[in-house]
Amino acid sequence: MNRRVAITGIGVVSAVGLNRQQFWQSLAEGKCGIGPIESISTEGLRFQHVAEVRGFDPLVALDPKEVDQLDRNAHFAIAAAREAVDDARLELTRELGERCAIATGCAVGGKASEDASYYELYAEKKTRFHPLTIPRVMANGAASAISSKFGITGPVWNVSTACSSANHALGQAFAMVRGGQVEVALAGGCEGLMAYGFLKAWDVMRVVAPDTCRPFSKDRKGMVLGEGAAILILEPLERAQARGARIYCEIAGFGLGSDAFHLTMPSPDGGARAMSMALRDAGLAPEQIGYINAHGTGTPANDSTETKAIRAVFGDHAERLPVSSTKSMHGHALGAAGALEAAATVLALHHGLLPPTANYTTPDPECDLDVVPNVSRAVRVEAALSNSFAFGGLNAVLAFKAPASL
């Protein structure tokens, strides 16, 4: 069995919007969600800016008891899942729940809960803390919570592959729907990163920008951490058409692999292999790709390496190929990054509008691509890629086809 797979629902919680519509409007306008850290102390941190989710009320999707039981990252995930299910007009009956999968990408789990417990233990010398600390901290906590919330009893799992976690989760869910193992999948990623100890660990790596994220710009100074969640509804195209669902686009291919090179430094060969695999899996020629949502972290190493990888795969077509990084607006959400960027790519195809690379100031000869600087671009494209390249050399690329090609 090799079924075509449609995206019929999208839910988002992010630094640039607390739902799908706000998220897309911000991206279309090039609005940056990066700003001063508000929810925790910044004493001793060299960087003071993140893409923090502000104004989010978990009670929109959970009851007070559930809020207490779960970490911030799971709050985001359940809200995004609720929006996605409602957007798809999906009726999760008991029978469908048995044939439904949940796949999340969450790289680090409940860091806010973990940090709070360590503070109580070591700083306040408490001998007891929250009895649900372990479930809160588990990386699979959000996936399990979504399962319970919606009564989904099919395959449920979480992927933790650093910055490519969500793309791996989406790709695996896509394979299960395409292959007929499940009928529907809720797939994406989540991360809640506002924890002092975790931010301090990133601080000492010296890869975080002191102000903002400027992917592909010559004056870029590093990544900016973000957080949030995005969940997409995947189902067979025929099923979606039969029930009259709105079809955003088709998820058509998945490529993955490892650099086998370095724990933190990227290799252009690994990224190029993953993009080529995604194209082959989707049955697409390089010339059919009209947009790439880049991994585009804003670090000197990533952006130049990704440029080389894109040129290696696309050759002369790279001269005419728009490539943008939405991390310039919603930040680098680690395990959730691929989910936010998949949502951005799907919405770009749906609306015929390519989101820009915000905060771009100065061309870099080592990043000599069309990076859609600062202003969105109205273009209808046939197909697009969304790249995620993680620490440890773990690469995952998704290929999407526009609704017009269905």
Active-site residue numbers?
Answer: 163, 295, 332
Interstrand relation of 353-354 and 156-159 (parallel, antiparallel or unpaired): unpaired
The tokens of 336 are what?
């959730």
The tokens of 191 are what?
């991360």
- Tell me the CA end-to-end span of the chain in Å, nearest whole number: 19
Phi, psi of 264 (to 5 degrees): -125, -20
Place of tokens 């009851």: 63
Q: How far is CA 270 from the centre of its chain?
A: 20
Q: How far is CA 310 from CA 167, 268, 293, in A?
A: 18, 8, 11
- Which string of b and e fits 142-178 if b means at least 16 CB within 10 Å? bbbbbbebbebebbbebbbbbbbbbbbbbbbbbebbb
| Radius of gyration for the chain, computed over Cα atoms and rounded to the nearest angstrom | 20
Neighbours of 93 (CB within 10 A): 11
Phi, psi of 325 (to 5 degrees): -120, 110
Give the single-character DSSP code of 370: B
Place of tokens 């494209």: 381
The tokens of 386 are what?
């969304």
Residue 149's identity, in one-letter code, is K
Cβ(161)–Cβ(168) below 8 Å: yes
Neighbours of 125 (CB within 10 A): 7
Q: Which residues contact 280 (CB under 8 A, 6 or more apart)?
A: 253, 255
- Which string of b and e fits 20-56 if b means at least 16 CB within 10 Å? beebbebbbebebbbeebeebebeebebebbbbbeeb
The tokens of 73 are what?
């990252």
